[in-house]
Amino acid sequence: GAVVSQHPSWVICKSGTSVKIECRSLDFQATTMFWYRQFPKQSLMLMATSNEGSKATYEQGVEKDKFLINHASLTLSTLTVTSAHPEDSSFYICSATKANPSGGVRETQYFGPGTRLLVL
């Protein structure tokens, strides 16, 4: 199997607070995890690529000081939305690829169930 969990599944917070979202691979080790954001009725937009033990690589236009990513182990990556504002309200979803892949482009990304963030 390849199960990815996310916690929390939803969160409501006040403007100005920070919110931490966890992404865990439950039955495999993941050297790489990805964080996406999805607005209603839109596609997934990649925010950053997280590699275990190194700094995350952020996509153009994503503020790294706003969205802090930590990938401390082969099974856990966290995304912290710092000083959240209403415009940060979105669906955040992570994915993971297995360590020691068989090679090349065949490696499938397995997605977590997502976290719905509402900033008031």
Partner 1 sequence: AQKITQTQPGMFVQEKEAVTLDCTYDTSDPSYGLFWYKQPSSGEMIFLIYQGSYDQQNATEGRYSLNFQKARKSANLVISASQLGDSAMYFCAMREDRGNNRLAFGKGNQVVVIP
Work out how close the CB of 100 gets to partner 1 at its nearest, in angstroms, rounded to a whole number.
14
Work out how close the CB of 24 gets to partner 1 at its nearest, in angstroms, rounded to a whole number.
15
SS3 percent helix, strand, coil of the chain, rounded to 5, is: 5, 50, 45
**Could you identify the residue written with the tokens 């790489």?**
32
CB 117 within 8 A of CB 9: no
43 lies in the binding site for partner 1 (CB under 8 A): yes
Using CA atoms, how far residue 27 sits from 3, 36, 58, 76, in Å, is 6, 21, 26, 12
Which residue type does 12 have? I
Residue placing its CB nearer to partner 1 in the complex, 75 or 95: 95
DSSP structure class, residue 3: -
Work out how close the CB of 63 gets to partner 1 at its nearest, in angstroms, rounded to a whole number.
19
114 lies in the binding site for partner 1 (CB under 8 A): yes
Site for partner 1 in 23-42 (CB under 8 A): 32, 34, 38, 42
**Binding footprint of partner 1 on the chain (CB under 8 A):** 32, 34, 38, 42-44, 46, 49, 57, 91, 93, 95, 97, 104-114, 116
